Amino acid sequence: EKDKIIETLEQKIKNQYTVIERLQEKGAAEREAVNIETSSAPGLTLCVNEVIKQIEMMEGVLSQGEVTESDKLIMNVCLRTSKVELRRILSAQQSSSSAPPGLAEKEKPPVVKGESFDLGTKKISPGSEGDEKEADKEKEKAEKEKEEKEKAEKEKAEKEKAEK
């Protein structure tokens, strides 16, 4: 009976990762298509729409009430995708605004400095770009370790429940 429970849990976890991988692959293919035409207005519109879609997905996850570990994984994917799209919009805007210097100054959006908010696992603070790639790698590594620990704890808890 314990083995069946463990197998079921493992299958559920594998299914969640498969869903996330498919989302990432689909996103990568869409972004590749967007890359070709990013600097044009339609390309930027696609980027903005992608960010909106990711935010709506996160709202959907949050509206379900209780947020599970798999929901957090999905939300992390949404956040990363949104960040990539927003950076793409900024870089396209900067490359296109290298027209006459007078105009470029007026068109640049103000840098938003705000409070960072915590979404359970990952902190996002607007206006920070610097060494994010390094930090992202470290965060991902830490997140993976944390997830593995949580999985082990959950499995242990399930085993104990099954024993009782």
**Contact between residue 115 and residue 128 where contact means Cβ atoms under 8 Å apart:** no
Q: What is the pLDDT of residue 31?
A: 66
Return the domain boundaries, the chain: 2-163
Q: What is the pLDDT of residue 163?
A: 67
Q: Which amino acid is at 76?
A: N
Q: What is the pLDDT of residue 36?
A: 52
Q: What is the pLDDT of residue 97?
A: 63
**Contact between residue 71 and residue 61 where contact means Cβ atoms under 8 Å apart:** yes
The token pair at 69 is 């570990």
**Contact between residue 20 and residue 77 where contact means Cβ atoms under 8 Å apart:** yes
DSSP string, 18-63: HHHHHHHHHHHHHHHHHHHTTTSHHHHHHHHHHHHHHHHHHHHHHH
* Tens-binned pLDDT, residue by residue, of the chain (164 aa): 888 888 888 888 888 777 777 787 777 777 666 555 555 666 677 778 888 888 888 888 888 888 888 888 888 888 888 888 888 878 777 776 654 444 444 444 444 444 444 444 444 444 444 444 555 666 666 667 767 777 777 777 666 666 66
Please name every residue paired with 123 in a beta bridge, in sequence order, or none if there are none. Answer: 118
Burial of 151 (0-12, 13-18, 19+ CB in 10 A): middle
